[in-house]
Amino acid sequence: MNRFLSNATNKIDAKGRVSVPAQFRNVLARLDIQELYAIQDFVFPAITMGGPELLDRYERQIVGDDPFAMDINEMSLLIHGGGVFMKLDGEGRLMMSDFIRDYTKISDQVTFVGRSDHFQLWDPVRYEEKRQEALDRRMAGGQTRAGRGETG
Amino acid sequence: MNRFLSNATNKIDAKGRVSVPAQFRNVLARLDIQELYAIQDFVFPAITMGGPELLDRYERQIVGDDPFAMDINEMSLLIHGGGVFMKLDGEGRLMMSDFIRDYTKISDQVTFVGRSDHFQLWDPVRYEEKRQEALDRRMAGGQTRAGRGETG
DNA sequence: TGGGAACATTTGGGCGTCAATGGGATACGA
DNA sequence: TCGTATCCCATTGACGCCCAAATGTTCCCA
């Protein structure tokens, strides 16, 4: 598999490190991603991580024709000022910086959530909350499309 | 037969493994499905499993042209964050991960339920409950037992 | 029609490998 | 020089891979 799927929760050790799930590391290797770009999610209390092309994509939103694009100056402030490059240590771990902790409220555990072409870092509790909210909202409004448990 | 039909209940062994019914494995082989995509059912306490095209189908809902479709970010959280790829061991068994147990309340047995182009994993008791509920609901409009369900 | 052989399926368990985690030692920056 | 980050190695436990027992099914022949 060459996409980030599923989720896994790992502990933060005494030094503030946490192992990136092996499954995700495999995807990173397959995509030949050496350096990780990290930025806060604009909607959820989570940190988005992915390859450098992730930054490219955000930058395209700045200059792009997206009608919902934010103010350019404001957007740049978030993307360029709020993003950071990180890399894993020899065992595939990364440091939980204050930058990450601030936006996520992560304390002693991290839930890694696959998002297809990138993945996210969540506090386990908040992830479960938001996941449930999303589920509720889908069942409330989405009865038409593929609702009722039918998938086809 | 190249569709998933009927249902069967198998035991979970001490290691947390359970055999996928041979009948279902035959269908998988016939459809040349090597890797299974699994995701929680959005309505029932069950896990839906099928080939990779199952994920494609869900993803089409994300990028679909439905203007009232769910928020993309939220939908991805459910589909990508909540879905997993799994594969069977040499004997055709799969691991009952916490992921599966959480959504299904499966403890020591699993009921595999055919759903034509995919199948589901249920806790035997809950399956029987839901099946009975569905049956009752269907017969509610009609007469007694003998009465056939009226809503074709 | 009954018995049983041959086969298929389910279940159990040993063992090696790898991932997650912990911790000491060293390098680096404030 | 102290606090922090990085590198390296050790430990533990989970999972994959393999083989074997037990249970169930089919089919043939007496």
| Residue closest to B43 by CA, chosen among B133, B110, B139 | B133
Residue A131 has pLDDT above 80, yes or no: yes
A139 with B43: Cβ contact below 8 A: yes
Residue A60's pLDDT band (cuts 50, 70, 90):
confident
For A65-77, what is each residue's pLDDT tens digit? 555 556 777 777 7
Instruction: Quote the pLDDT of residue B71.
Output: 81
As a whole number of Å, the end-to-end CA separation of chain B is 26
Task: Return the residue matching tokens 């919902």.
Answer: A68
Q: Which of the listed ranges A52-61, A78-87, B35-44, B60-69 does the model predict with the highest average pLDDT?
A: B35-44
For B38-59, what is each residue's pLDDT tens digit? 999 999 999 999 999 999 999 9
Nucleotide nearest to B93 (CA to C1'): C10
DSSP labels for B50-116? E-THHHHHHHHHHH-S-TTPPPHHHHHHHHTTS-EEE---TTSEEE--HHHHHHH---SEEEEEE-B
Q: Which CATH number fits domain B7-124: 1.10.10.10, 3.40.1550.20, 3.40.190.10, 1.10.260.40?
A: 3.40.1550.20
Instruction: Quote the pLDDT of residue A147.
Output: 38
Share of chain B above pLDDT 90, in %: 79
Report the range of poorest mean pLDDT among A121-135, B15-29, B59-73: B59-73
CATH, range A7-141: 3.40.1550.20
In the predicted model, what is the mean pLDDT of residues B4-10?
A: 97
Instruction: Quote the pLDDT of residue A1.
Output: 81
Residue B147 has pLDDT above 60, yes or no: no
Amino acid at A21: P
State the angle between helix axes of B53-63 and B72-79 in degrees (0 to 180), rounded to the nearest 10.
Answer: 170
Interface test with A, best of B58, B77, B84 (most A CBs within 10 A): B77
In the predicted model, what is the mean pLDDT of residues B77-96?
A: 96
Pairwise CA distance, residues A3 & A21, whole Å: 13
Phi, psi of B93, deg, nearest 5? -105, 160
Pair of tokens at residue B76: 């991805």
Instruction: Quote the pLDDT of residue A76.
Output: 74
Phi, psi of A18, deg, nearest 5? -145, 140
For A70-96, what is each residue's pLDDT tens digit? 677 777 777 777 788 999 999 999 999
Protein CA A52 to sugar C1' C29 (Å): 27
A6 with B43: Cβ contact below 8 A: no
Pairwise CA distance, residues B47 & A74, whole Å: 42
* DSSP bridge partners of B94: B18
In the predicted model, what is the mean pLDDT of residues B70-98?
A: 93
- The model's pTM: 0.88
| Residue closest to B10 by CA, chosen among B92, B89, B83, B90 | B92
Residue B79 has pLDDT above 90, yes or no: yes
Residue B150 has pLDDT above 60, yes or no: no
Share of chain B above pLDDT 70, in %: 88
A39 and chain B in contact, CB less than 8 A: no
Instruction: Give the A window 4-23 contacts with B, CB below 8 Å.
Output: 4-7
Task: Return the residue matching tokens 């030949």.
Answer: A32
Classify A9 as helix, strand or coil: strand
Phi, psi of A111, deg, nearest 5? -100, 120
Shortest CA gap A51–chain B (Å): 18
Residues constituting chain A: 152
Instruction: Quote the pLDDT of residue B9.
Output: 97
A131 and chain B in contact, CB less than 8 A: yes
